[in-house]
Amino acid sequence: MNLSDKFFSLFQRDAMLFFATLLTGIVIARQLGPEMMGVWTILLLIPGYAEAFGRLQFDQSAVYFIGKKKADIGEITFLLHVVAVVATAIIISIFFVGFDWFYGQLFKNVELDARAFAYAILSLFPLRLIYINYSYLLIAQEDVLAYNSVVILQALITSVASIGMILIFDMGLMGALMGSVMGLIISIVYAANKVQQLEKLKPNFNLKLLYEMAKYAVHHYISGLIGYFQSNVTSLIAVMYIAPAQVAFYAVGKSICEVATRMVPAAVNTVLFPRVSRTENAHDSSMLVARLFRITLLILLLSSCVLAILIKPVVFILYGSDYYPLIVPFLIMIAGVVVVQSATVFSSYFSGRGRPDLLAKISVLPLLIQIFLAVFLVPEYGVNGAALSFVLSAILLFFAQIFCFLRFSGLSLKDIVIQFQDVTTVWSFALDKLTIIIGILCSKKRI
């Protein structure tokens, strides 16, 4: 399977994920209403921040070490599980010891007693660690088909189970939580079986390998933590100042931006990271990344413009008029999400070249500016202030990533500016795949 076919295969997967995620979000938002949707958004901060602090990024190390043929799958699988157990024990202990403080900060504006939900939703954290471990082991082997199957299975099971429990059994928040748990457990079982077919688990506590993986992972950990805060710290600050319904408008608006723009960069990055890790010619990998950045940015600019024009009828059809207040923050944030998503190819490039530390260094200033802006803008302007603080920080991060990529790669600005050949490439690729899809549909119809 060549590179473009892998991209398209992953894009097909992400298209399915888009509709599954969108449908699940619509059902949850409509059934819960803005107020309870805000509570659900706050609850999701718990496993989200647990993963940000507790995912030690050894999964990223696994891709790099397997790609460089420095370790085998069986041994690394065992080490990944050991790290996951240790991380889970630490995070759960901290959460239980400081529960009252955490709960008081997150739910100060919530009338509902959500303590039971807060405890229960932390169960997503260890499941996510195991799921991510197996996913990255498949990525390391560039087994796109198996990886796609795992991701699609998780999304579909989560979607079907969540929607069923909410609509049929009227379980509300607990239904959404149980659907997420079921999706993770079933996909983990499937992924574990796929990895075991590649190589059996080797229980070998290799301290030297663990240390080498840790040295590589620490840079990913810092940059991942900063990246998570970059994407989510405004939500956390908003929880402390505005009502749950306003939090929901911000979260749903941002979610629409991200769901609509992440398909292409997600497909590109899944293949790009191991490809850059394996490529010995630095100039070739730099040129590949520059071209993929231009194409990704072009596609996202076109699709986001269409979505921005149609956002009001889209919100009405999908969520109902109760969610109209999310339109303004969406329009503020969409530009920031587009540039941040398109620049994720640079993250794959730095990681594949063994310099994940650069990601953290260039993200610190934009993050600090976002926190500063959010603290002042959210109390004064509410959800729109949250959106503004995010987009300004995102644009600053985008330019910082471009500057760092150009300096590190030795390329010039003209190499990352969209060119006419990029337009023809996108058009030809889309036309070619559309022709194939129409041909398949027509042949099925004749049968």
Return the CA Rg of the chain: 22
Residue 327 and residue 308 in contact, taking contact as beta carbons nearer than 8 Å: no
Tell me what the pLDDT averaged over the chain comes to.
85
What whole-number distance in Å separates Cα of residue 396 and Cα of residue 379?
23
pLDDT at residue 107, as a whole number: 92
DSSP 112: S
What whole-number distance in Å separates Cα of residue 285 and Cα of residue 277?
9
pLDDT at residue 262, as a whole number: 78
What whole-number distance in Å separates Cα of residue 151 and Cα of residue 187?
7
Range scoring the smallest mean pLDDT among 34-38, 128-132, 276-280:
276-280
Measured at the CA of 341, the angle between CA 339 and CA 345, to 5 degrees, comes to 105
- What tokens were used for 115? 């303590």
Per-residue confidence band for 338, with pLDDT thresholds at 50, 70 and 90: very high
Per-residue confidence band for 205, with pLDDT thresholds at 50, 70 and 90: confident
pLDDT at residue 31, as a whole number: 87
CA distances from 348 to 260, 335, 355, 364 (A): 21, 21, 10, 18
pLDDT (tens digit, 9 = 90+) per residue, 212-261?
888 888 877 887 888 888 888 999 999 999 999 999 999 999 988 887 78
pLDDT at residue 186, as a whole number: 95
pLDDT at residue 419, as a whole number: 85
pLDDT at residue 258, as a whole number: 83
Per-residue confidence band for 93, with pLDDT thresholds at 50, 70 and 90: very high
Kindly report the three-state secondary structure assignment for every residue of 99-137.
HHHHHHHHCCCCCCCCHHHHHHHCCHHHHHHHHHHHHHH
Q: What is the mean pLDDT of residues 291-313?
A: 90
pLDDT at residue 69, as a whole number: 72
pLDDT at residue 438, as a whole number: 59
pLDDT at residue 111, as a whole number: 86
Alpha carbon 228 to chain centroid, angstroms: 9
Residue 195 and residue 137 in contact, taking contact as beta carbons nearer than 8 Å: yes
pLDDT (tens digit, 9 = 90+) per residue, 376-400?
999 999 999 999 999 999 999 999 9
pLDDT (tens digit, 9 = 90+) per residue, 255-293?
888 877 877 787 777 677 667 767 767 777 888 888 888
DSSP 447: -
